[in-house]
Amino acid sequence: MNKEKLLSELQFKAIRSGGAGGQHVNKVSSKVVLTWELSKTLAFSEEQIERLEVALRNRLSKEAVLQLECDATRSQIRNKDGAIARFFSILETALIREKPRRATRVSRSVIKKRKDNKQQLSLKKAMRRRPDLD
């Protein structure tokens, strides 16, 4: 993943954060909105773009735009850094290939061990019962 190329494709917009906060929140645009267009990226191959489309289908808009917001701090610069860090972590997790699962059989020794354990528990509980005096 070429981070410099990706950083050049990102667009940022600073807006005012919502919610309570008094005078400061009403006059400072500290919330950062990061937008990235997956369809126009040059940083990934076609195969990687397809994988990203599948992995990020719930996060992408209809125009294949990823939008992240960060208003965790009062600093616009720290919010921008936080949005960029989250962006890269999302992409890294989306690009990870899962190993295909291979079907395996349970070994005979494991089956025997389980049955022996069940038998021991059954005997232990049988010993707790009242003796049959008939």
pTM for this structure? 0.72
Backbone angles phi, psi at 40, to 5 degrees: -105, 10
Radius of gyration of the chain (CA): 28
Enumerate domains of the chain plus CATH numbers: 3-95 (3.30.160.20)
Task: For residue range 24-40, list pLDDT tens digits in order.
Answer: 777 888 899 999 999 89
Distance CA 5, CA 104 (A): 43
Task: For residue range 65-101, list pLDDT tens digits in order.
Answer: 999 999 988 889 999 999 999 999 999 999 998 899 9
